[in-house]
Amino acid sequence: MACECESQIFSLSWPTFLTAVDWTNSHHRRSVAASLVQGVYTLEDDRHRNRQCPDALAPPWWHSFNFRLVQILIDSHDVSHFGAVFEFVNYSYYHQAPAGQRPPQYVIAFRGTIPKAGNRKEDFKLDIHLAVNDLQKSSRFQTGLETASQTGLEYGTVWLAGHSLGSSLALSDKVELGLRLAGSLVVTAVVAGGGAREIDPFVALSTWVPYLFINRSDPICSEYAGYFKHREDMEAIGAGRIGKVATKNSIRSILSSREASHLLPSAYLTLNGAAAASVREAHGICQWWRHDLELEYKYYQHN
């Protein structure tokens, strides 16, 4: 299920409160990341409908936040656009901002499934890869991983942003995630640099603290919340050590594609408790650039 914004036109759907982006504000960062992912959805819609500049609808989704499109990630099977690399172009602002308060220099964004003619075959095939936990064998995963690794090695800090299926493309033992928007949205990531080295997969994943944004009414992704709540309950009854061992074994299996990929050691969980009229609304990306969300926050740390 795609649940991209129903209106591809930026002026009708954009986060209107973002007249000026405060990069120290978590709501602003989340909204910009969601908008860039929507830009990838619209980029593919432009391709599918053969909309060329000046009629293309996608550019405002990144130009409005001082980003430029530097690369399109293309599926080798159906030539669809499944991702894009964006560069922040307000260089003076970037270099003048204090460390820790800067916008991302680069963002790599991935869209989710589009159940429409021309997209559904390869998108659904990727959904099956995800369901049987061998997503890493797909060409999109390999393309995304290579792009993230190369961009990170060259430029340092890189955000990865993905919605729905697209968020799963960000999971790799070579990519150290700083923000992973599960199900309904996004992620940021820092690509690990350095030469080839032996790393315990569990140790590597334990350093990741993804930010998971989930709607409670979303049946597709709400299992993330249940997973971390179960972990917390195990700790409360004194069975935390058992839970830690199980989690460690599960994490090892993730990287060898033998276990459910939602088992993560730690996370900042953000839950949207607002009622949704449909699964499409609960899973949709548009909600994540609204400023009036009813949010709950929880930090789960694996020690």
- Taking the domains of the chain in order of start, what are their residue ranges? 10-300
CA distance linking residue 20 with residue 11, whole number of Å: 16
pLDDT score, position 70: 95
Residue carrying structure tokens 């990531």 = 189
**pLDDT tens for each residue of 176-235:** 443 333 344 444 444 333 344 444 544 555 666 777 888 888 877 777 777 777 777 777
The values of phi and psi at residue 212, to 5°, are -100, 125
**pLDDT tens for each residue of 78-101:** 788 889 999 999 878 878 888 778
Taking residue 198's Cβ as centre, other Cβ atoms within 10 Å add up to: 4
150-169 as b/e: b if 16+ CB within 10 A: ebbeeeebbbbbbbbbbbbb
CA distance linking residue 40 with residue 82, whole number of Å: 7
Q: Which residues, including other chains, have CB under 8 Å from residue 93's CB and lie 6 or more apart?
A: 66, 103
pTM over 0.85: no
pLDDT score, position 41: 92
288 vs 248: which has the higher pLDDT: 288
**pLDDT tens for each residue of 13-22:** 888 888 889 9
**pLDDT tens for each residue of 26-58:** 889 889 999 999 999 999 999 989 999 899 999
Closest Cα partner for 160 from 108, 208, 212, 211?
108
pLDDT score, position 240: 53
**pLDDT tens for each residue of 93-129:** 878 888 778 888 889 898 887 766 554 444 444 443 3
pLDDT score, position 90: 86
